[in-house]
């Protein structure tokens, strides 16, 4: 074979070339996804391309479920629709036995359309219209309230239907080692939560059954869950003793970290992220501290990110190379932040999709958008890439295919690969027609 040409480069010695764990992790190329050549998939479905692994989805779900099963007699996992509500993704989790957690009328309808019984749907979120509440109550969906005005609206809606639906309230907790998300729900320590419960109980139009908390996102300190579980457990016990409310479910929301690495994070996600076992053990410890003797109520978890993030990659193709003034090499690829908004939060891991040669040097990956903010990864030691080479961006399963936008370019194909080697579209790429379909030109123009 003819030797491949390697471009000569000068690399400035930089700090961070090694850290206390030794040399930087070596790059490896990812030529296949779940055993199927990336090239073959791109030939069939185009680039950029989101690829989801059915096997990883199920494995992650089962890993968490097995951990829960070891410590809790009574628990349920609900799939967080907003994290990824593509029908195929939801189907996999529902086949595994997950309930649905929705945060809008739209998501609620999607879950109902998929055939999920109302009693297996949890309705969270700060914005629920009268029509949303009406639909939810009719279907037996359990609604978790965010603020008092919503409770008033729900009471009115329920009275009009002539029913007393089972509901919950969302609680936020100050005394946790994570930033308090006091914008959602009623604060526990300040007494707002108790006040909300008393209102609901006195008016008697809603049947309070559940406490819900969602302490944050990408929580890397499992002990925060122990504290939250303990706080909610103790609150439930107080409510039972003092208000006569029987709390039958405690919903600890989600927020488990995936194996991504935040921009500000020192250790890579693969090392820093706690295991499901660690989170679950802490929750059990919290319940143990709150419930000394009696069985704790039904535990609900709505983990989204940690289940789906690691199950997907984004394939992108190199459009060009250039050298920036600071000496970094820039690579322009065909996937930008319009389809990968999580690039703003994470240092996504990136692998070449083919064999690579030459010296790795600090590289920035730019997307195709004519916008300064379109940075896929701002600095990574990477070998030289040729036009037409491909890269594999890892851990992209959460939020991207719900938060992406049609901006400057179309949204690409999304494909699922089964563990038996089958693959198929789970969302068709948009095209020019999609762009025009929603548009109108008013008559006076």
Partner 1 sequence: MALTAAWGGKWLLELLLRPYARVLFSRDLAVGVLVLAAIGTFPRLGLATLLAVAAAHSLAWLFGLGGLALREGGAACTAVLTTLAVGVYAPEGGHLFALVLLGAVFSVLYTASFEAVFGAVALPTHSLPFVAAAWTVHLAARMLPSSEPPFPLTTPLPWIPMGMLESTWLDIPSSLVFLHGSVAGVLVLAALFLHSRIGLLLGVLGGLVSFGMRAWLREGVPWSTLDAIAAFNAVLAAVAMGGIWFVPQPSSMVLAAGSSSVACALTYALFPVASSLYLPVLSLPFVVTTHLLLTASRSREQDRRPRSALPAERPEEALASHWMRIRRFGDVAWLPFRLPFRGEWVVSQGHDGAYTHQGPWRHGLDFEGRTPEGLAYVREGKELRDFVCYGLPVLAAGPGTVVEIADGVADNRPGEVNTLENWGNAVVLAHGAGLYSVYAHLQNRSIRPKKGDFVVAGTELGRCGNSGRSPTPHLHFQVQRAIPLGSPTLPADFGDVITRTGETLTLANRVIPAQGEQVRALVRDEAVARSLAFLPGSRYVLEASGRREEARVEVNLWGRRLLRSDQAMLFLDPYDAGLVLVDFHGSRRSLLRYVLLALARVPFDQAPSIEWRDSVARRLLLPGILRPFADLAEVVLPEIGNLEVHYRAYREEGQLHVVGVAEQWKTHTVVLLGKGELTIEIEHKNHRDLIKVREEVTS
Q: Is 95 in the site for partner 1 (CB under 8 A)?
A: yes
Q: Which is nearer to partner 1, 68 or 380 (CB)?
A: 68
Residue among 269 and 412 whose Cβ is closer to partner 1: 269
Q: Contacting partner 1 (CB under 8 A), which of 63, 134, 243, 289?
A: 63
Choice between 97 and 177, CB closer to partner 1:
97
Q: Is residue 74 involved in binding partner 1 (CB under 8 A)?
A: yes
To the nearest whole angstrom, how small is the minimum distance from the Cβ of residue 263 to partner 1?
29
Question: What is the closest distance, in whole angstroms, from the C-beta atom of residue 319 to partner 1 in the complex?
Answer: 40
Helix axes 105-113, 130-139, angle to 10 degrees: 30
Could you say whether residue 99 binds partner 1 (CB under 8 A)? yes
For position 73 contacting partner 1 by CB under 8 A, the verdict is yes
Dist CA 91 CA 97 (whole Å): 10
| Token code pair at residue 30 | 């990812």
Q: Which one of residues 234, 298, 328, 379 is an interface residue with partner 1 (CB under 8 A)?
A: 298
Q: Could you say whether residue 83 binds partner 1 (CB under 8 A)?
A: no
How many CB atoms within 10 Å of residue 3?
6
Q: Tokens in use for 401?
A: 């295919």
* Binding range to partner 1, per CB under 8 A, among 40-48, 88-96, 149-157, 217-225: 88-96
* Rounded CA separation 226/49 (Å): 39
Q: Of residues 8, 115, 244, 421, which one binds partner 1 by CB under 8 A?
A: 115
Pick the closest to residue 250 from 176, 148, 171 (CA basis): 171
- Choosing from 27, 114, 369, 371, the residue that interacts with partner 1 (CB under 8 A) is 114
Q: Is 116 a binder of partner 1 (CB under 8 A)?
A: yes
Q: Could you tell me if 324 and 364 are in contact, meaning their C-beta atoms sit under 8 angstroms apart?
A: yes
Stretch that binds partner 1, among 118-126, 303-311, 341-349, 421-429 (CB under 8 A): 118-126
- Minimum distance between the CB of residue 399 and partner 1, rounded to whole angstroms? 22
Of the pair 98, 391, the CB lying nearest partner 1 is at 98
Residue 218 in the binding site for partner 1 (CB under 8 A): no
| Binding of residue 223 to partner 1 (CB under 8 A) | no
* The only residue of 14, 25, 37, 97 in contact with partner 1, by rule CB under 8 A: 97
If one asks whether residue 71 binds partner 1 (CB under 8 A), the answer comes out as: yes
Q: With binding defined as CB under 8 A, does residue 272 bind partner 1?
A: no
Provide the CB-side half-sphere exposure for 187 (13 A, CA). Answer: 10
The answer to the question of residue 90 lying near partner 1 (CB under 8 A) is: yes
Six-digit token string for 187: 């604060």
Binding-site residue total for partner 1 (CB under 8 A)? 35
Kindly tell me which residue out of 33, 72, 184, 356 binds partner 1, with binding defined by CB under 8 A.
Answer: 72
Q: Which of 31, 91, 209, 259 binds partner 1 (CB under 8 A)?
A: 91
Residues 357-386 touching partner 1, rule: CB under 8 A, are: none
Provide the minimum distance between the beta carbon of 120 and partner 1 in the complex, in angstroms, as a whole number: 5
119 lines the binding site for partner 1 (CB under 8 A): yes
In terms of CB distance, is 115 or 421 closer to partner 1?
115
CA distance 98 to 85: 13
- For residue 114, the minimal CB distance to partner 1 (Å) is 4
Q: Is 96 in the site for partner 1 (CB under 8 A)?
A: yes
Closest CA to 144 of 46, 212, 203: 212
Closest distance of CB 437 from partner 1, Å: 28
Pick between residue 141 and residue 232 the one whose CB is nearest to partner 1. 141
Should residue 270 be labelled a site residue for partner 1 when binding is judged by CB under 8 A? Answer: no
Binding segment (CB under 8 A) for partner 1, from list 57-65, 169-177, 257-265, 355-363: 57-65
Positions that interact with partner 1 (CB under 8 A): 58-59, 63, 65-76, 90-91, 94-97, 99, 114-120, 140, 275, 277, 281, 293, 298
């Amino acid at each position: 074979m003819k030797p491949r040409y390697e471009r000569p480069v000068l690399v400035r010695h930089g700090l961070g070339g090694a850290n206390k764990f030794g040399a930087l992790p070596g790059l490896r190329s990812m030529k296949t996804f779940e055993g199927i050549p990336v090239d073959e998939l791109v030939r069939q479905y185009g680039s950029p391309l989101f690829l989801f692994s059915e096997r990883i989805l199920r494995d992650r779900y089962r890993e968490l479920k097995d951990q829960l099963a070891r410590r809790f007699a009574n628990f349920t996992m609900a799939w967080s629709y907003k994290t990824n509500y593509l029908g195929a993704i939801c189907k996999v989790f529902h086949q595994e036995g997950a309930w649905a957690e929705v945060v809008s009328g739209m998501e609620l309808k999607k879950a109902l359309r998929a055939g999920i019984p109302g009693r297996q749907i949890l309705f969270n979120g700060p914005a629920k219209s009268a029509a949303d509440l009406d639909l939810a109550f009719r279907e037996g969906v359990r609604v978790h309230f965010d603020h008092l005005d919503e409770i008033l609206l729900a009471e009115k809606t329920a009275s009009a239907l002539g029913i007393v639906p089972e509901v919950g309230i969302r609680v936020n907790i100050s005394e946790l080692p994570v930033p308090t998300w006091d914008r959602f729900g009623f604060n526990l320590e300040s007494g707002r939560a108790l006040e909300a419960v008393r209102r609901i109980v006195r008016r008697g139009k809603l049947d309070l059954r559940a406490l819900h908390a969602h302490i944050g996102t990408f929580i890397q300190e499992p002990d925060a869950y122990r504290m939250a579980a303990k706080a909610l457990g103790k609150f439930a016990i107080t409510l039972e003793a003092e208000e006569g409310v029987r709390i039958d479910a405690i919903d600890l929301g989600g927020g488990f970290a995936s194996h991504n690495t935040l921009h500000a994070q020192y250790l890579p996600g693969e090392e820093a992220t706690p295991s499901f076992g660690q989170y679950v053990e802490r929750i059990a410890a919290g319940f143990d501290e709150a419930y000394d003797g009696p069985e704790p109520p039904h535990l609900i978890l709505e983990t989204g990110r940690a289940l789906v993030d690691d199950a997907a990659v984004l394939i992108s193709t190199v459009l060009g190379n250039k050298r920036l003034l600071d000496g970094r090499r820039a690579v322009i690829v065909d996937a930008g932040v319009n389809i990968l908004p999580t690039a703003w939060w994470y240092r996504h891991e990136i692998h070449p999709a083919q064999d690579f040669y030459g010296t790795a040097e600090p590289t920035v990956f730019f997307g195709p958008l004519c916008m300064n903010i379109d940075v896929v990864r701002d600095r990574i030691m990477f070998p030289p890439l040729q036009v037409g080479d491909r890269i594999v961006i890892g851990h992209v399963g959460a939020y991207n295919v719900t938060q992406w936008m049609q901006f400057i370019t179309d949204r690409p194909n999304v494909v699922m690969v089964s563990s038996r080697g089958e693959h198929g579209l789970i969302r068709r790429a948009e095209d020019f027609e999609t762009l025009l379909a929603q548009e109108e030109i008013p008559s006076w123009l």
